[in-house]
Amino acid sequence: MVNEISVEDMAKIDMGVGRGGVSKYPWDTTPVNGGFSVPLSDMKKTDNRPNPPLRLQKLGVKFISRKRPVEGVPSIVLQRIA
């Protein structure tokens, strides 16, 4: 069932973040040779690796990832290499 939403009601709904919106990882702000870590406990599957957005991949942005402890916390460490 489809529900129409009036212009007035749409103005009350936050449509700012969603698919294609703000990433939870700092892909855009990580400099080459810089990086960030994601605790494995934050991952749905510990065998998966986060990938940069396609728009950045098309620009040649590349990251490598390794499972490494960070301050004693099992994590995935991502380093920007290009």
| Residue 5 resides in a domain | no
- Residue 47 in domain: yes
Q: Is the pLDDT of residue 34 over 70?
A: yes
Q: Has residue 4 been placed in a domain? A: no
> Would 50 be classed as within a structural domain?
yes
DSSP 77: E
- Within a domain: 73: yes
Q: Is the pLDDT of residue 8 over 70?
A: yes
Q: What burial class does residue 13 get, using C-beta atoms within 10 Å of its C-beta: 0-12 exposed, 13-18 middle, 19+ buried?
A: exposed
Note the pLDDT of residue 19.
Answer: 57
Sequential DSSP letters for 39-73: EGGG-SSTT------HHHHTTT--EEEEEEEETTE
Q: Residue 35: which domain range? A: 24-80
pLDDT for res 12: 82
Residue 37: count other Cβ atoms within 10 Å of its Cβ.
Answer: 19
Average pLDDT, the chain: 87
Look at residue 46 in the predicted model and tell me its pLDDT.
Answer: 76
CA 1 to chain centre: 32
Per-residue pLDDT, 47: 81
> Which has more pLDDT, 7 or 53?
53
- 40-74 pLDDT, tens digit per residue, is 999 888 788 899 999 999 999 999 999 999 999 99
Count how many domains the chain has: 1
In a domain, 16, yes or no: no
Is residue 3 one of the residues assigned to a domain? no
pLDDT at 38 (0 to 100): 93
